[in-house]
A and B are shown apart, each in its own frame.
Chain A
């Protein structure tokens, strides 16, 4: 298969088309503008739907409408725009509607900056919308991995009737790598959608209603339990992680996305210094690969959580560690992207980085 040299955001747009997207609704925000720009051309060429909405709020609600009507739908944005979508995401989860949301993280809080960041881990995995719900969150580290996951995410969203988020940072969105767009994806069984509002003439069994309102608390509690049974299934079947060199490691670094790539270089440097360091790279941030931490050998002296944030994945690292090993933290924020040497230093000065 031939490879193309492609910018991350452009690859995301083309991967969505390969994944069978019917409609895209979005709004411009740096650093992901190439996604709506490319889709505005490619989707209309294929007689599919593209709308530049008036805001991220409008876009996520257009996603809701189109998904409810049975289409494969996607939106994309960056940190402040994803903040605006939180209401819509809660409604999508409550109404059990599939969709794909691409979030290209930038520095925050507030208007923040436009450089890469990982400071939306809480936003993605803990949700800013109301109520008990979860979004399946993927954190690819390369453009190729982003393409492969994105193509499959439409199927996954359909199977579980839930939003799926692809969480990358501005670096992945803006950099160029050689990629294959047509790698085959996993064959998954997807049932016909019988719940959509496509008109009573076009489906069986009386009118369909897409709704998240349950004023009777007995019914609302039952609905929440139903959603959580679904989330339990997702945890069992979709958790993904990559582990490297855990066998006889002295330290483990936990990192995702761009930080994981920087960590790989740091691990090489540390090996040259005679220090064996392994890595746990969560590919799904929710569900978090807690079980992978059980593979850390007793010989390990500590776990370093490395993020481009003030420490958001740190919570999940500490939970997964269960107090077995000391946990240290290394972070850069505000759009600052660390050099591998900084992570090397963090390991060499591990004790100074240990958190309570």
Chain B
């Protein structure tokens, strides 16, 4: 059961991959086949159930593309 829920504003993503690199659970990846209006390959979550809600992805995102919510325990 995921502790955290991550949503991306894909149209604002610049495909820099910092979120992918710094996710401690390695559940983010860049989809090389899909891209947004600006032409950047967007980021997807491979296994959302493993998200611990640390928000490292959102902390590193230079464009404030990511929102992280945590399930109340």
Q: Do A and B touch, yes or no (CB under 8 Å, in the complex)? A: no
